[in-house]
Structure 1
């Protein structure tokens, strides 16, 4: 009995000691790892995936397996950071450069840097991308969904426009899938059709390559035939990919072809640029067609885009009718040149009404069509 009592007392003492130590550890009394935050995981290194294009060029796609991760990249060989260009869409590479990319994600360490160099050594003036709107069939077809998507709806688009923009196959009233507002015809051309299904009701289409294809620098041109009717506003233009993150006008806007209303003498095309500090008519110029020509005929509308400059031409790339440079905006308060920040995407549309052309009237003939034979991109 005495021996057992002694053992019990010792067990009780040891137990009390262990409880005390346990409480101290649980309350942070230890200087070990119990109170340290677990190490952060690292975002996945992005993949750089080139796909062959014409003339030795490639279209580069960047991707990451990190859910909700953002990919940042550079093309000048520098190491990307969270202040670098945000990847928004596949982009054309037609010059010698190095793409470097990282992934950043909430609560994650930034990924390792992915890097790939390209040396296509492409000669000046080489065709490196084209959309020829080919259609070998016997019926009209959908514009290539790998290249084109749509803006849709009737929100006025910041210009008090009157049309409902309809996507392919849309059944949302007043859109009519049996009479699409954009199609590739059996003539091998894109047709954008403005219709008036009821008095005061208009439908049309606005196609864009946003999220699917973009490029920076080079010469882009499209062979186009425009309608010339009161209240119509056809356009061929570009917006910066970064519109998704910094909005307009910070994204920049390059208007290669704009034409409003009925034919004039001389007839004209308008080319302009817009950005922070120059959102209105500050930087726009008109090209006057030679005697005997109108915008209603087939013409090639183009832009020559280089670092620090944007030039527009009609029919002859050797004769730009206007060139804008970084010095063009120096006198404009608060202006920022946005066109060297990254790639842009292509837009084609036929607006009805709006602040610029005004509304259609009884002389306006519907349906009216903007017809595009091709879009080509060449190296500078």
Structure 2
């Protein structure tokens, strides 16, 4: 009886030893490396590819279970859920999982979702999760509330002679120029680099949008846009209305203004400058209207006024910024309420404002007046312009 027990024990020990010898030691298992992926959002669905790699040789098929996982990107809205088993055959070093990113043109913050890996067979995982980043910041659609003041489009004694309602799909290059560069800070130590890229200036939902970004570009840390109608649209006298919503944080400097068309021959400030509206971030509820000229001592002369909201700031609703421009005088208005008037007799030098002027729209970042952005300034910052209209007397 004892001999039989001994033989059975030896037999079981022999079987266990044989089973263990067939298993591959953990230290000899290949490691599967995961990678993150970035995908630009398109207006139609597009696949994002998660790659996995094996950098050592192996003889048995590797299988891994995978499943998508929500982050700021949401299943069904931003991506199509996927799950299954990934197999990597001996003799290959890479495999992949494709996941569909849903088409959308909305300009918004970048979003993330994940591909979760688990249950590896015949391999070790170098990580358990890959991240997909969906880039949305170059989207072409950016809705905004239309709340705010709306001016009439019919003034007694005036006719509309030109307007841009920004209802198209692209900026009208027969009217607008997009300036480029920094031009030594534009005389104000500004920090932005102006571009003509659709990342910085585009039309959406009936608005022109100038977007200032914090990004490295051409050696600068901020980008934005500056538009002019120079050599394309110039006007002399009339009523000018611009309906806009403004960026207001620290370091922001949106402006709607005009320069004398003779600037290329007489230079600034002799050409004259009409600041229809300026805002600086440290006073988000106040806008300024100013005239600039060459004074009697060949220097820079200027005078202007300001107006403030009773509550809130200029980023919350649209407002209409206007000038009533006549021979020898300019009056500034906000939401059809006059707040400052300049006449020829206050100009101590060459009066430039009876000449033709062209328009400029821009969002500067930093500079002598607004100061520089700080940790409270979140980017991107945007100026929305609903329309620019010019009326002249009948």
Fold match (TM-score > 0.5)? yes
Structure number with greater Rg is 2
The residue that corresponds to 1:343 in the other structure is: 356
Whole-Å separation in 2 of the counterparts to 1:280 and 1:241: 18
Q: Deviations over 1:257-296 (max 9, x none)?
A: 00011455xx21100000101866740211122x234222
Q: Deviations over 1:304-358 (max 9, x none)?
A: 1100001100011xx31111001112xx3xx111111x21100000000011101
Structure 1 residue 142 displacement after superposition = 3.0
329, 337, 340: which one aligns with 1:322: 340
Q: Equivalences for 1:273-312 in 2 at 5 Å?
A: 273-277=291-295, 282-289=302-309, 291-296=310-315, 297-312=317-332
Pair 1:181 & 2:200 matched: yes
Structure 1 residue 197 displacement after superposition = 1.3
The residue that corresponds to 2:164 in the other structure is: 131
Whole-Å separation in 2 of the counterparts to 1:357 and 1:281: 20
Pair 1:159 & 2:215 matched: no
The residue that corresponds to 1:358 in the other structure is: 371
Structure 1 residue 180 displacement after superposition = 2.1
The residue that corresponds to 1:372 in the other structure is: 385
Aligned residues: 233
Whole-Å separation in 2 of the counterparts to 1:165 and 1:363: 23
Q: Considering only aligned residues, what root-mean-square deviation do their CA atoms show, in Å? A: 1.9
The residue that corresponds to 1:231 in the other structure is: 251
214, 225, 235: which one aligns with 1:196: 214
Whole-Å separation in 1 of the counterparts to 2:178 and 2:351: 27
Structure 1 residue 127 displacement after superposition = 1.6
What is the TM-score when the length of structure 2 is the normalising length? 0.57
Unaligned runs of 5+ in 2: 1-154
- SS at 2:214's partner residue? strand
Q: Deviations over 1:155-176 (max 9, x none)?
A: 21111100000024xxxxxxxx
Q: Equivalences for 1:37-116 in 2 at 5 Å?
A: none
Q: Deviations over 1:190-233 (max 9, x none)?
A: 00000011497000000000011111000001000001110010
What is the TM-score when the length of structure 1 is the normalising length? 0.59
Whole-Å separation in 2 of the counterparts to 1:372 and 1:134: 11
Whole-Å separation in 2 of the counterparts to 1:359 and 1:293: 22
Structure 1 residue 154 displacement after superposition = 1.4
The residue that corresponds to 1:4 in the other structure is: none
- SS at 1:126's partner residue? strand
Contact 1:263–1:295, Cα closer than 8 Å, also in 2: no
The residue that corresponds to 2:171 in the other structure is: 143
Unaligned runs of 5+ in 1: 1-121, 136-140, 169-178
Structure 1 residue 378 displacement after superposition = 1.2
